[in-house]
Amino acid sequence: MNQLSRTAVVTGGASGIGEECARQLRADGWNVVVWDRSAGQGGDVAVDITDYAAVAAAAGQLDGVDLLVNAAGIAGDRGPTAEKKPAEWDAVLAVNLSGTFYCMHALYPQLKARRGVVVNIASVAGMVMAKGRAHYAVSKAGVATLTRSMALEWADDGIRVIAVAPGYVRTPMIQRSIEAGELDEQALAAMHPMNRMASTEEIAGAIIALSKPPFLFMTGAVVNIDGGYTLGK
């Protein structure tokens, strides 16, 4: 395949990990289409991934897709789960889990035609529990299970499905919370044996690396990129 003919769809590509994925892919010669609620620049398309009709319509505007990076996600509010309103639970699951599935489902025919790759964003939060984060943990554990399920179903179609599970990443959202005093930077760093958070460049670089050689025999894997977070201390 001609390098310039490669097309990637990156959800949540207006900020954070998704934005960095889009930047690195464009630098590598890819045609990148960003789907994001707040998109509006260049090849960005405003898409609410919790609305399947909107996702399907956006997919219908594309001629073919080689790579789907499902980076869109929300953390939801922290606090006792018993005190959360059902709408808070629904919102996190709608974006993180249903939205990931909707994008995979809508782009399946194009991914199949090009024997493409899907990389989903799971999280260590789906493996190591924290109080007040049940909605986020369940959504990310669901992404990991969805990844393995679809890798099995789509292997015959030549589609590889992978997930990465980061620890804490210094995204603009995390940085704003640190500056507002909602999160403690040193405490976040200390959760990782490497004693720091990841950069968006590191996570995006791993996502892109896993999408191409020498990882062509990898599918269904959920790869921890967490500075040792899940190892314990």
The per-residue pLDDT for range 59-113, each reduced to its tens digit, is 999 999 999 999 999 999 889 999 999 999 999 999 999 999 999 999 999 999 9
Bridge partner list, 17: none
184 falls within a domain: no
In percent, the amount of the chain with pLDDT more than 70 equals 96
- Tell me what pLDDT residue 1 has: 41
124 falls within a domain: yes
Strand residues in 123-226 grouped as ranges (E):
160-166, 222-225
pLDDT in tens, 34-55: 999 986 666 689 999 999 999 9
Nearest one of 136, 141, 169, 164 to 221, comparing CA atoms: 164
Q: Angle at CA 163, nearest 5°, toward 193 and 109?
A: 170
209 falls within a domain: yes
- Measured CA to CA, the distance from residue 70 to residue 137 in angstroms comes to 17
pLDDT above 90 (res 134): yes
Strand residues in the chain grouped as ranges (E):
7-11, 31-36, 44-46, 67-70, 117-121, 160-166, 222-225
Which two three-digit tokens encode residue 18? 């998704």
- The boundaries of the domain holding residue 17 are 3-171+201-222
Secondary element (H or E) of residue 50: none
Which two three-digit tokens encode residue 223? 């790869």
> What is the Cα 224 distance to its own chain's centre?
13
- Measured CA to CA, the distance from residue 197 to residue 185 in angstroms comes to 9
- Tell me what pLDDT residue 5 has: 79
Count of domains in the chain? 1
- Of the candidates 52, 102, 108, 136, the residue annotated as catalytic is 136
233 falls within a domain: no
Contact between residue 139 and residue 93 where contact means Cβ atoms under 8 Å apart: yes
189 falls within a domain: no
145 falls within a domain: yes
CATH assignment at residue 21: 3.40.50.720
187 falls within a domain: no
User: How sure is the predictor about 223, in pLDDT bands with cuts at 50, 70 and 90?
Assistant: very high
Contact between residue 50 and residue 103 where contact means Cβ atoms under 8 Å apart: no
207 falls within a domain: yes
Known active-site residue 136 = yes
Secondary element (H or E) of residue 140: helix 134-154
